[in-house]
Structures are given as structure tokens and as C-alpha cells.
Chain A
Amino acid sequence: MNPELKTQFELLYQAHYRMVLQLCLGFVKGDSDQAKDLTQEVFIQVWNNLSKFRQDATPKTWIYRITVNTCLNFLKKQKNKDQKLGEILRDQETTEEINFTETDPSKMLFEAMAHLSEIDRLVTGLLLEDVPQEEIATILGISDGNLRVKIHRIKLRLKKLISYE
């Protein structure tokens, strides 16, 4: 094992573990065990691709890409077991209003995110991580305009979902 690579991996792991786990938590609607498994999968991919990592992207952006792809792969595996993806995605996009009276803000957040589609949950997570919009567009591989429309829809949706009464 290359010791230099191992040191680099350990630094990346320490620096980005929180960010990856949080994105995964948002993606799996706050399910801690599933998020930890997914995070482990992300870092396995990080290790397997570390030797190919060129400095043309920041390590953070590079790990975001791996996280998004790992989450999408997880989604494919999960849905393959059950039913058609489209049916599930449509089922999740409910318009049922959430009453924001929960005292734990993180629980409230994941409850709200659970009502979004998986892709929108990933976008929301990246936005809450303060990732610039043009970077999110690059990570997803879509145009800036397309992402702006998506973000606008997510905001409207969350606004509809959440009530402060």
C-alpha cells in the first residue's frame, strides 16, 4: 500500500466525513444506519479512485461528485428490488403540509426533505452545504438555467410543504 496515498486518504476522510454523511442523511431521509453505509460506500469509491485524482477540481468538488453518483447507484439498487423508479418518485412527491412545530430542527429538516424526490434532496443538501450553484450544475452535469429552474421548484415545494403555525 502506498503510504503517501494512505495519508492523503486519511486527510480527505477526516476533512470530509461530516459533509458526506450529512448529504447521505438528507438523501436517505435521516436514516442514520443507511446514511453510514452509504458514507462508507462513498469513501470506498474515494479510495479506489484516489490514484486517478488530478488537481483540476478541488477535493471537495471531487468528493461531492462521488457522493452524488454513489447515492444514485444506491437508488438504482434499491428500486431494482422493489418496483419501477418512476412510480416511487411520484409517490414521494406529496403535497401534504408539514406543521413545523417539531423542536429538533434537524428532524424537521429531514421530515421536509423526505417529501422531495431523491434528486431534489441531493440538490437541497448541496445548497445547504453552500455549494455554489454553478458547481452543483457541474456535479449534476446540467446547465445553470436548468438548475435554477429546479431550485425554484424546490423552494416553491418546500414553501408549500412547510407551515409555521
Chain B
Amino acid sequence: MNELGQTLKSGWKSSGSDITPPHIPAQLISEAQRLNRESKKFQWSTLLILGSTFLMMCYFLLVYFGFRETLSHVGVGIMLGFFLLRFVLEAFSIVEGGKKEATDSAIESLEKEKKYLELRLRIHGFYTFLTLSAYTLGFLLLLPEFSKYISSFWMGALVCSYFIPGIILTLLIRKNVQKELRELRMVVELKEKILG
């Protein structure tokens, strides 16, 4: 074993003997700052998109259409309420994601990532489908009042314009959920590998 230890040590020393740091800290710092800015920009842009969509929905559903029937008011309430829930969950997820530190121990870091991915899975899985279903229910509750003002042809177009993007969105969410599930499995396996 000693002979082995010596061989490995001499290999390690020899591989490190000609390493000299390249003089690039200034470039590295600007790259680090750029990545940091981009990561924050990405997080804020998600919230910004969700936030402005919510405001647009508020304008159309509360001001532009001016619904008069109780059923429609219930529908608007459900749609806006669940969209707001999705917005709050996304903000919560961003806060949770920021808790992972590069200086945590490996196990601690993997544990935080596991919790974060579990949260993302809940948000992208259960809560997103709950939001979509509630949103669809809200939309269906608006249809009786819409039907009083527009023709059957435009009613059909309205329903199609809701369900076709809805199906595409559901498929995209499903893909995202599968990706996060794969990442979660990987984190769990890696954790087991360190502990094992």
C-alpha cells in the first residue's frame, strides 16, 4: 500500500508541478458579473411576464368586457385568483432557489437542491394543473354571457382559441415536469453515492 501511496503522490506532484495560473482574473470577474446579472434578469423576467399577464387579464376581465352576470363574476374571480396563486408560487420558488449556496457541504447542497426540485415539481405538476383546470372552469363560466353577444361561429372560434394553446401548454408543462423529475432522481442518486 505504501508503494501505491508513493506512486499516486508522485503522480499528483508531477501533474501539478507545471501549473501556473493564467493572468485572467479581470476577464473572470467580468464573466462572473455577467452570469450573475443574467441569472437575476431571467428570474425577474419570469415574474415580469407573469405579472404583466396578470395585469392584462385584470384589464380585459374587469374593465374591457364589463361582465354583468353573477356567473361571469365568479368565473373572473376564479381565473384571476388562481393566476395570482401561480404568480405567488413562482416568486416563492425563486426565493427558495436562492437558498442554495456554492459553499455548502456537498450533502447539504444536494439536500437543498432536492427540496427545491420537489417544490418545482409540485409547482409545475399539481399546482400548474390545478391552476389550468380552475382557469378553464372560470373560462367556461364566462361563456353563457359571451353567447348573448356573439354569434355561434365566433363562440366556436373563442373556445378553439382557448383549448388549442391550452393543449400545447399542457404538453410543454409535462415535458418540463419530466425534466425536473429526471434531475431530482439524479440528485437523489448522487446523494446516495456520497453517503454510500
Given contact pairs A69-B104, A141-B108, A155-B1, a sample of 15 additional A-B residue pairs in the complex whose CB atoms are under 8 Å apart: A13-B28, A17-B19, A18-B16, A18-B21, A25-B15, A40-B28, A65-B106, A66-B102, A69-B103, A76-B187, A89-B193, A100-B7, A106-B15, A119-B190, A162-B7
7 tightest A-B contacts by CB? A109-B11, A141-B107, A141-B105, A106-B15, A17-B21, A105-B11, A47-B32
- Contact bitstring B179-194, A, C-beta under 8 A = 1, else 0: 0001101110110011
A18 lies within 8 A of B19 (CB): yes
Interface SS of B by simple majority = helix
Contact A49 B102 (CB under 8 A): yes
Task: Please tell me which one of the listed residues A13, A85, A108 contacts residue B11 in the complex, with CB atoms under 8 A apart.
Answer: A108
Contacts of A79 in B (CB 8 A): 186
Q: Any chain A CB within 8 A of the CB of B195?
A: yes
Cβ-defined contact, A76 with B19, below 8 A = no
The reply to whether the CB of A86 lies closer than 8 angstroms to some CB of chain B is yes
Is B36 an interface position by the 8 A CB rule? yes
Instruction: List A residues 115-144 near B (Cβ within 8 Å).
Output: 117, 119, 124, 128-129, 138-142
On whether the beta carbons of A65 and B21 are closer than 8 Å, the reply is: no
Q: Is the CB of A72 within 8 A of B185?
A: no
Q: At the interface, is chain A mostly helix, strand, loop or mixed?
A: helix
Contact check, A158 vs B190: say whether CB atoms are below 8 A apart. Answer: no
B145 sits at the interface (CB 8 A): no
For residue B5, which residue of chain A has the nearest CB? A155
- Interface membership of B161, Cβ < 8 A: no
Interface residues of A in 51-82 (CB under 8 A from B): 52-53, 62, 65-66, 68-70, 72, 75-76, 79-80
Interface check B25, CB cutoff 8 A: yes
Q: Would you call A112 an interface residue if the criterion is a C-beta within 8 Å of the partner chain's C-beta atoms?
A: yes
A43 close to B (CB within 8 Å): yes
By size class, the interface of chain B is 35 or more
Question: Smallest CB–CB gap between B107 and chain A, Å?
Answer: 3
Task: Point out residues on A near B: beta carbons under 8 Å.
Answer: 1, 6, 9-10, 13-14, 17-19, 21-22, 25-26, 30, 40, 43-45, 47-49, 52-53, 62, 65-66, 68-70, 72, 75-76, 79-80, 84-86, 89, 100, 104-110, 112, 117, 119, 124, 128-129, 138-142, 146, 155, 158-159, 162, 164
23 contacts between A and B (CB under 8 A): A14-B21, A18-B16, A18-B20, A40-B28, A47-B32, A49-B101, A49-B103, A53-B103, A65-B103, A69-B106, A75-B190, A80-B182, A85-B190, A109-B7, A109-B11, A110-B15, A124-B8, A129-B12, A141-B108, A141-B194, A142-B107, A142-B194, A142-B195
Neighbouring B residues of A117 by C-beta, 8 Å? 193
Interfacial residues of chain B within 32-52, with CB under 8 A of chain A in the complex:
32-33, 35-36
CB distance from A72 to the nearest CB of B (A): 6
Is B9 close to A, CB under 8 A?
yes
Kindly provide the distance from the CB of B179 to the nearest chain A CB, expressed in whole angstroms: 8
A residues in contact with B21, CB < 8 Å: 13-14, 17-18
A18-B16, A84-B185, A106-B15 known; A44+B31 contact, CB < 8 A: yes
In angstroms, Cα B31 to Cα A45, docked, is 11
